[in-house]
A and B are shown apart, each in its own frame.
Chain A
Amino acid sequence: MSTTFGLFNTSVMGMSAQSDALAAVAENIANSSTVGYKEATTHFLTVLNGFQNSGEFGGGVTTRNRYEIPTQGALQSTSSATDLAIHGAGFFVVSDDSGATYLTRAGSFAPDAEGRLVNSAGYYLMGYAADGAPSASSTNSLTSMSVVRIRNDKLFATPTTAGALTANLPAGATVVAPAALPSTNGAGAQFSAKTSITVYDNLGAPVILDVFFAKTGANTWEASAFNKADAAPGGGFPYANPALVTQTVAFDPANGNLLSGSPISLSVPGGGTMSLDIADATQLGAAFSVQSVNVNGNGASSVREVMFASDGTLSYLLENGQSIPAYKIGLANVNSPVNLTSESGNVFVANGDSGQVFVGLPGTAGFGRILSSKLESSTVDLATQLSSMIVAQRAFTANSQSFQVASEILQVLNNLK
């Protein structure tokens, strides 16, 4: 008898399990366009009757649902630079209004009124301020992360600290008498070559340095720098202030390469100490020419847009075309991502099964890269879901048939009386 009643149980459990599967399919289909959604899958497990003897059947079925969190979704292109996607393992660290942190792969971020990057579910992106970037060994520092805030309301300036100048000084230049050297800052100072370089002071104001080269003897030169703002009317000597730096530069007569005199260290007026590297300068039998000149630092300017590098660096692109790093977007992961607890808004929370959250920088071992202007689409494939739906529907029907058969058997038994 137990077998007949068991039939009811088994078929009801079967129907219930297939309903679960159908519910998962329905959720998947509903979220087939949700950014960062991970496909829900239904796993069936047998449940055996505790009184069953071996050789007897009549066990039921139960289901376990889970989200296939580690599956990589297809990356679709968007036109917004703040749309981010992770290619590889890891999650963005986001926080809600209360400050609680979550993990997510839904990277459709956009700046809010305060410049905070918030995704469509309302979670704020977190990262390390550029000066507080974690070292490679720092593996668990969620606390040092803060909400990423794009400072549209502020001007940025970085003083110049380093530069490089590569030039050829004409080997055949006439030697300048000591009394007429630029370093004397006399009205009739003579020089063999001059170039000027824009650098930035502490307040981001451009300072133009006039750099003079005067030949003092065979293979020796005097390099000196002046602040262009001090120049006499019409430019040139004498400058209102003495040379910022005067340095003897020597060249190798064998090949014209620099022997000594690099780098030139000078104090930018109103700014910091700048080291001008002239190690690649030459003294060859050609006219004076500058091959390359580069300096760091940038003038005071507001933020025009933000850019992301694949290593997670968020840079401000300033109005003047220079870019300065502002944040490092860290990624987080757990040992068993598939066991993360899902919450509304495509966010996940670590639990005992998933393991502790650890963080790291994109592109480092164990973490994927961050791509800008991309979104990770839902991992749901409609066709698969539709076929699963048909299968589940048929299985449900079959279970209901089992139930009907059991019911008919009981009917027959009842009619025996």
Chain B
Amino acid sequence: MTLSLAGLIANESLGAVSAQTGIVSRNISGASVQGYSAKIPQLVTSDHGTPSIVGVARQADSALLKSLLAANAEQAGSTAVSDGLRRIEQFLNVALDGPSAVDSSASPAAAISNLSSALQAYSASPNDPIAADNALARAKDLAKSLNGASGMIQDVRQQADQSIQQSVAHVNDVLAKFERVNKDIVVGMAAKADVTDMLDERDRLLSELSTEIGIATVQRPSGDMVIYTDGGVTLFEMTPRAVSFQPTPSFAAATPGAGVQIDGVRVVGAPNSQLAARSGRLVGLAQLRDELAPRFQTQVDEVARGLVQAFSESDQTGSGAPTLPGLFTYDGATVSPGPGAITGLAARIIVNPTVDPAQGGDSSRLRDGGASSPGAPEYVYNATGASGFSDRLLQLVDALAAPQAFDAAAGLRLQDSVASFAADSMGWLAAQRQQVETKQTFQSAVVNQTSQALSNASGVNLDDQMSKMLALENSYQASAKLLAAVNAMYSTLFEAIRV
């Protein structure tokens, strides 16, 4: 140990303390930044006792980050589903409670019960044309409600499809950013530079990515990171893999949605591949578009088919004429549909123009029959033409409440009355929505908890930083004092020479 060395050590110590002070000030300024992790200077003592900063580490918790990524993906998925379901439900319910008379029966179930009441009122006074008009208006409401519900379902599917496209664009965008940051980290780590801020940025990008699709990451020795979807498909390895999606311009009930391809493998959308992604917004949107909304569509289609069936007119003369659609019909309907879903029927169902005076029909056909083929005597129920004939109307009211067969694809009861089937369908929608919202609430709590835990584990604790700063201040003073002492000793030597 020599005096020169003592001076050198004091000098290096001052440098090390100022570098650490720089890191403390970085930590303090980053304390309120989302995703900033506390930085820790890495000091070593080299051979002659001189301290030097060899690098900067960060306080990170990879296990918690992994949980956060998973929770993010789950939450984003259920949010996408619940948003879509809520839109359909709100359309039906808000319209139901709304002031507008036209929309007052937007829910098919409510519209059926309105129609049933109107028919009953009509049957009580079969010769009253106002009651006939009222029943006809309710029937039109019901057709409109089914058309509206079907339109809404397809609109939700369309929107989900567009959101998938936006999500895919977002994923590609994030991956492009990820590539740059990842490369900087690899270069920086190889050059032993401080890459902690870039690591924070990379974690932030991962978290952004995880809301779109569930991911798993693999870290390579060089600091390079590889991203896979939670289904195992390569999303990023040295370069981003192509994430592609062909949006469907418009949706009808029978239109299938396109799938999302990553690295040449279909990861989202039916039919499910073995490598399908399991969570994330993309998965939620695809579930809404390809599974839940079509299921509800099948249900309203079945309601429409059940109505056509319930109001169908059969041969009254025994001449063997086929049963034909009566009050409710649809384009191209020749014979009354039997059990089995007709895709998109809800969008096509109309009130038979032969019953509608506005379209040249006659509303009394509701009471007398013959709506299916005006003029044909086989379908006239009121053969005598009595103005007090109510048998057919009561038959119709009964038909609404009578059990009939429904398609298993609707996922509801197989034998049910059309009124109860429509109510069940609304109940199914509400239950689905509630179920996914419960899941979403739970997952939001998990996300909040996890990000809180992550922030506690890796974030900046201001008290810590302040105490570190005090320690650094003391250390700086001590080193400066040491320099002063070395200086004083030299002065003594110089004094000795001067004498």
Contact = CB atoms under 8 A, between A and B. Distances in A.
A405 B38 CA distance: 76
Nearest to A166: B218
Interface stretch (B4-12, B332-340, B445-453): B4-12
Interface string A390-402: 1001000000000
A319 interface: yes
A206 to B, nearest CB: 7
Interface stretch (A119-127, A193-201, A257-265, A346-354): A193-201
Nearest to A196: B234
Nearest to A389: B497
A189 to B, nearest CB: 11
B155 to A, nearest CB: 28
Contacts of A208: 239
A382 B492 CA distance: 13
Contact of A198 (B46, B231, B237, B490): B237
A404 interface: no
B218 A381 contact: no
Contact of B493 (A75, A194, A235, A386): A386
Nearest to B265: A194
B221 interface: yes
A170 interface: yes
B264 A305 contact: no
A234 B244 contact: yes
B244 A195 contact: no
Contacts of A366: none
Interface string B176-197: 0000000101110011100000
Contacts, number: 145
Contacts of B185: 321
A279 interface: no
Contacts of A234: 244, 261, 264
Nearest to B12: A77
Contact of A382 (B4, B190, B224, B226): B4
A87 B47 CA distance: 9
A206 B238 contact: yes
A291 B217 CA distance: 9
A154 to B, nearest CB: 18
Nearest to A77: B52
A290 B47 contact: no
A74 B220 CA distance: 37
Contact of A231 (B12, B46, B186, B264): B264
Contacts of B224: 321
A97 B94 CA distance: 90
B48 A74 contact: yes
B226 A390 contact: no
A384 B264 contact: no
Interface string B223-245: 01010100111100111011010
Nearest to B182: A321
A364 interface: no
Given A236-B265, A292-B218, A307-B191, A194 B238 contact: no
A174 interface: yes
A173 interface: yes
Residue among B187, B241, B244, B274 with most chain A CB within 10 A: B274
A228 B238 CA distance: 14
A314 to B, nearest CB: 14
A387 B265 contact: no
B232 A321 contact: no
A381 to B, nearest CB: 3
Given A287-B232, A293-B226, A384 B2 contact: yes
B51 to A, nearest CB: 10
Interface in A156-199: 167, 170, 173-174, 191-198
Contact of A75 (B47, B226, B232): B47
Contacts of A192: 274
Contacts of B47: 72, 74-75, 87
A399 B50 CA distance: 43
Contacts of A320: 183, 186-187
Nearest to B486: A383
Residue among B8, B47, B191, B264 with most chain A CB within 10 A: B264
A197 B263 CA distance: 11
A235 B245 CA distance: 12
A69 B241 CA distance: 59
Interface in A353-393: 374, 377, 380-384, 386-387, 389-390, 393
B202 to A, nearest CB: 13
Contact of A307 (B190, B222, B489, B497): B190
Nearest to A287: B232
B238 A322 contact: no
A294 interface: yes
A364 to B, nearest CB: 19
B276 to A, nearest CB: 10
A32 B8 CA distance: 12
A198 B4 contact: no
Interface in B236-288: 237-239, 241-242, 244, 261, 263-265, 274-275
Contacts of B8: 74, 76, 377
Interface in A323-362: 323
Given A197-B237, A386-B493, A236 B264 contact: yes
Interface string B469-499: 0000000000000000000011001101100
B237 A293 contact: yes
B83 to A, nearest CB: 28
A44 interface: no
B20 to A, nearest CB: 15
Nearest to A73: B48
Contacts of B220: 292-294
Interface string B332-356: 0000000000000000000000000
A194 B233 contact: yes
B216 interface: yes
A12 interface: no
B466 interface: no
Residue among A290, A322, A393 with most chain B CB within 10 A: A290
Nearest to A372: B192
A140 interface: no
B169 interface: no
Minimum-distance CB pairs A-B, first 7 = A235-B264, A321-B186, A381-B2, A383-B3, A288-B232, A198-B238, A321-B187
26 contacts: A72-B47, A74-B48, A76-B8, A77-B46, A191-B274, A194-B232, A194-B233, A196-B241, A198-B239, A231-B264, A235-B265, A236-B261, A236-B264, A290-B218, A290-B232, A292-B220, A294-B220, A305-B191, A321-B222, A322-B190, A381-B3, A382-B3, A383-B3, A383-B489, A383-B490, A384-B3
Interface of A: 32, 72, 74-77, 81, 87, 167, 170, 173-174, 191-198, 206, 208, 210, 228, 231, 234-236, 287-294, 304-305, 307, 317, 319-323, 374, 377, 380-384, 386-387, 389-390, 393
Given A32-B4, A290-B232, 17 more contacts: A75-B46, A75-B50, A76-B12, A195-B234, A234-B244, A235-B263, A235-B265, A287-B231, A287-B232, A290-B228, A291-B218, A292-B218, A320-B186, A321-B187, A381-B3, A386-B493, A390-B496
